């Protein structure tokens, strides 16, 4: 979630004025613009969902069609305005939100030729991530960044964990394929791997479940393993999340205490005023 | 869970006496009153549950009917007494328990006109939260407050997490709708979103499960994602729960800072040596 | 898991000798005795399980019958020996393991009159908890105590959590009963509560699942709630488990550092030798 | 995951040269070799999976057959080269990767006589664990070691936890067998234990689920217990993972203590000031 605050408005008065409305929400018009935008995003998402229901689509086809055109045209206009009013245009276009804004438009125009792509419009929802800025929810925004940072910092460990998990599932699935030998749901190795993942993640649909006693025994072992393994990602993220609790750079220069909270002004160990 | 201890009794002797019985449990009568109340709440909950079972309702209809009237009249009398004996009546009425006490009555009288509302009486169970006070379970009460506080403190992060999760589920559901293309359980986008939530939360009913190999592959990816994501709320609450390690009784007597770690010897806000 | 080390042997030489064999495992005979005991427990558990399988019971009925008699007689003799060789007999009888040893016998004799009680013999498995002592697995034993202690210390918070969870499930179940109005699996409130618990704990059998769109919407809300709620018990136990990591009583008397590991001999902050 | 860096190459020039290609990836050829190896492992895994699908096997039988021979011969040659170029041959053969390399070959030659063993070739995937070395992903490697170490350190507690869990499941399963008395899915005790594990681990296939009200009540109790119990492994691993905050590179140069916290300024074992 890249911040947009390093975008600089164009010099012309009108572009500066528009910039403030579009990118900021510290004016009345800016706030109104944001609320309209949010409503249109929600409405668009809702329409796409409803269009997929044959009964509703049949009844409101024209309404949906017209609304979608209006919203999409508005988004198109907005996208080009966003480009027009910033000086460092490339910066916006390749920013996190710039790409999302673009992706929110493309499927509509593509769907004129390839109808199925219409449903990709659901990606418009991602624009909602701007929601925090809209309501000036600074605390929320900070918490959001903290969450994203914690995930980013632990992403490497999570990748390794997932690699282990995948290798584990493939092996378990193959063993199970030999055990249940082509019984329903275990006809092929990929099928058996599907079952292994469903089991080890404790999802447990039950569309595939072991039938032979040996198979059930293996399943029990796998479930107990999965139950213990689930602790690993949790441990990773929890350990990471602790990081954000204290100021990692501050040290008390009298007693050397490094366990200093972000909001501390005095060392809690020796009472020295912190710089 | 607002504390009720800031309610002040009326001046009259009888009202003071009743106040002690109703709101406190440090007298024999007060304890008796509380135990009767608790029994009635449990009995009422039990009756409502049993009434929903046709066989039992048929057999004990009259018993249930009579008991419900008695309990509800008792609760009504109790509610008005509670109002009568406190000085700051508005304070009670709009307190957490005041609202619950009210909600525990309304459905009964409404059900005389709209029978279906009867089942809302189940909200009476919330009155059980007073249970800690009844048995003078101070330690339990403190632990309860700590839990509630930890959840409250991390609620903002949990909201953000849920927002991400919802956006994620909507997008995954829509993609799956395109993949499984109208197959059973994936007929519409809302259906597919339902499936996505069932999967990502590892509930996995199995009433809807992917059928095509591509669908199964997507499901596997989603499950692995869900398995990693589950670490996030856990990490949030765990990190928050560590906060409670603070000494809840220590306060800095110079600056009034209450956020004091268990191991602190000096106030981190003003540098005063702590007693 | 109460320790048995505060049991005192009887004075007579033979009883002292037997005491050492039965209660200790520091002699060859003592070790042998323990291994025989463990084997019999496992064998007994295995027989009870096998007896429940009609096909196997039919075939090996006599073998099972005879073995069960032998094992039970051995356990009976052992139980009375255990009583005989200790001085503080009452102490043993009402100790954790004393009660389990008793419970491991009763069902057998009861089953002579009430056959169904036979299956309670499965409680014999609990005797396996002595396993750690048998193999002199001191480290395992300590870790076991730590786990038990962490659970005990956080039990109060877990009870509160479960109370909340139960109230929550009852209310959600009742609401769902109104929503799904007597549809399959939601015919009665207790049924609906069963569904709510299955869902909120993310077990998700799928024997009952919402059918109406409104029901599905409620289910989605419940699942997301359950997904967040699961963090609470984890947070509780994790926070508790951290306790055991450091010596909570040691403080460095030069710099006041209280973050001292159990195995530390010098303060890691100022280098002072710890008392 | 044992490190391979303590293997010493043979003295001869050619063997030293080959050693560098095979065991290292700091030369162009070495990197190429590793990438070919990785591709062959992936391809081999893929072929085994595809062979289990009758439709694909029928169509590409010869292709699969030939490819498998080529890959297996390559792996065989590689295995003997690995032995040939190191001085301490036994060291390699019994190292973690040495054993895996061997296991990756055996099933192929066995399958010439016992076709079913072919599927054990899936263990070749374990060779992928070398992946981190291949791409010189040092950070990933370190994180991987940390994860493995955290699991190893907490393994003892997890074993105890699993023992408790198994005893618990066996007892619960037996009780349920008595309650549901031979109903579908609860015909035998082992069946009922299978159900208990499926439930307590929150997998919840739904292939077996309680039918009687009493059974459902027991199931609810079990689920709530499982929901609380899941916190235990998480707590264990999380507590262990905190350990990794230690500085892995610091060593006390006086006493050799390697267990040094990130924030330590003095060795906690000998009091020496750390550099």
Q: DSSP for D87-105?
A: SSHHHHHTSHHHHHHHHTT
Chain B contact present for D204, CB below 8 A: yes
Question: In B, which residues are within 8 Å of D238 by CB distance?
Answer: 238
> What pLDDT was estimated at residue A95?
86
> What pLDDT was estimated at residue C129?
76
> What pLDDT was estimated at residue A197?
92
Residue in chain C closest to A231 (alpha carbons) equals C234
Question: In D, which residues are within 8 Å of A156 by CB distance?
Answer: 139-140, 143
Neighbours of D245 (CB within 10 A): 12
Comparing A109-123, A261-275, B159-173, C8-22, the range with the smallest average pLDDT is A261-275
ipTM: 0.81
Q: Among A266, D262, C266, which Cα is nearest to B265's? A: A266
- Report which of residues D233 and D254 the model is more confident about: D233
Under 8 Å between Cβ of C272 and D268: no
Q: How many CA atoms lie within 13 A of C87 on its CB side?
A: 10
Predicted confidence (pLDDT) per residue in B264-275, tens digit = 667 666 666 766
Mean pLDDT, residues D25-36 taken together: 85
Mean pLDDT, residues C108-137 taken together: 78
Q: How confident is the model at residue C162 (pLDDT cuts 50, 70, 90)?
A: confident
Mean pLDDT of chain C: 81
Under 8 Å between Cβ of B199 and A203: yes
Nearest to D238 among B203, B206, B238 (CB): B238
Phi, psi of D265 (to 5 degrees): -115, -20
Question: In C, which residues are within 8 Å of B144 by CB distance?
Answer: 160
Chain B contact present for A52, CB below 8 A: yes
Phi, psi of C246 (to 5 degrees): -130, 160
> What pLDDT was estimated at residue C123?
83
> What pLDDT was estimated at residue D24?
80
Is pLDDT above 70 for D201?
yes
Nearest to A255 among C202, C205, C255 (CB): C255
Distance CA A76, CA A73 (A): 5
> What pLDDT was estimated at residue A248?
45
Nearest to A224 among D48, D201, D205 (CB): D201
| DSSP bridge partners of C273 | C266
Distance CA C165, CA C169 (A): 6
Mean pLDDT of chain D: 81
> What pLDDT was estimated at residue C43?
93
> What pLDDT was estimated at residue C140?
66
Helix runs in chain B, H state only = 13-23, 28-51, 54-85, 89-93, 96-103, 106-111, 131-134, 138-180, 189-200, 213-229, 231-241
Q: Among C162, C224, D211, which Cα is nearest to B169's? A: C224
Distance CA C156, CA A190 (A): 46
* Domains observed in chain A: 4-136 (1.20.120.350), 148-250 (1.10.287.70)
| DSSP bridge partners of A261 | A246
Is pLDDT above 70 for D151?
yes
Mean pLDDT, residues C240-262 taken together: 59
Helix runs in A94-184, H state only = 96-103, 106-111, 131-134, 138-180
Is pLDDT above 90 for B232?
no
- Report which of residues D118 and C50 the model is more confident about: C50
Mean pLDDT, residues D90-99 taken together: 87
> What pLDDT was estimated at residue A257?
65
C266–D271: do the CB atoms touch at under 8 Å? yes
Q: How confident is the model at residue A116 (pLDDT cuts 50, 70, 90)?
A: confident
Mean pLDDT of chain A: 81
Nearest to A259 among C206, C259, C270 (CB): C259
Q: Among A245, D136, C14, which Cα is nearest to B242's? A: A245
- Report which of residues A25 and B30 the model is more confident about: B30
Distance CA C145, CA C139 (A): 10
Distance CA C115, CA C60 (A): 18
Predicted confidence (pLDDT) per residue in D75-89, tens digit = 999 999 999 998 888
Predicted confidence (pLDDT) per residue in A13-39, tens digit = 888 888 888 888 778 888 888 889 889
Is pLDDT above 90 for D209?
no
Mean pLDDT, residues C205-216 taken together: 88
Under 8 Å between Cβ of C130 and C144: no
> What pLDDT was estimated at residue B25?
76
Helix (H, G, I), strand (E, B) or coil at A67: helix
A123–B231: do the CB atoms touch at under 8 Å? no
Which residue matches tokens 């792509």? Answer: A117
Comparing A8-22, B178-192, C119-133, D252-266, the range with the smallest average pLDDT is D252-266
Neighbours of C78 (CB within 10 A): 18
Question: In A, which residues are within 8 Å of C203 by CB distance?
Answer: 204
Which residue matches tokens 């164009």? Answer: A10
Chain D contact present for B54, CB below 8 A: no
Q: How far D219 CA lies from chain B's nearest CA (Å)?
A: 16
Predicted confidence (pLDDT) per residue in A181-194, tens digit = 777 888 889 999 99
């Amino acid at each position: 979630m890249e911040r947009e605050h390093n975008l600089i408005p164009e010099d012309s008065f009108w572009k500066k004025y528009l910039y403030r409305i579009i990118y900021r929400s510290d004016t009345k018009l800016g706030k109104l613009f944001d609320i309209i935008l949010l409503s249109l995003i929600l409405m668009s998402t809702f329409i796409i969902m409803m269009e997929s229901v044959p009964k509703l689509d049949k009844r409101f086809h024209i309404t949906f069609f017209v609304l979608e055109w209006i919203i999409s045209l508005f988004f198109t206009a907005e996208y080009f305005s966003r480009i027009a009013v910033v000086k460092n245009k490339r910066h916006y276009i390749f920013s996190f939100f710039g790409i999302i804004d673009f992706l929110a438009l493309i499927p509509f125009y593509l769907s004129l030729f390839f109808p199925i792509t219409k449903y990709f419009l659901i990606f418009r929802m991602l624009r909602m991530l701007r929601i925090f800025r809209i309501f000036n929810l600074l605390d929320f925004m900070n918490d959001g960044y903290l969450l994203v940072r914690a995930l980013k910092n632990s992403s490497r460990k999570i990748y390794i964990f997932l690699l282990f998990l995948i290798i584990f599932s493939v092996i378990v699935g193959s063993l199970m394929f030999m055990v249940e030998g082509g019984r329903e749901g275990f006809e092929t190795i990929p099928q058996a791997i599907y079952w292994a993942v469903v089991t080890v993640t404790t999802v447990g649909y039950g569309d595939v479940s072991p039938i032979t006693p040996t198979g059930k025994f293996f399943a029990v072992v796998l479930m107990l393993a999965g139950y213990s393994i689930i602790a690993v990602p949790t441990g990773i993220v929890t350990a990471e999340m602790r990081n954000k609790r204290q100021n990692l750079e501050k040290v008390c220069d009298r007693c050397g205490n490094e366990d200093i909270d972000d909001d501390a002004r005095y060392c809690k160990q020796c009472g020295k005023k912190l710089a």
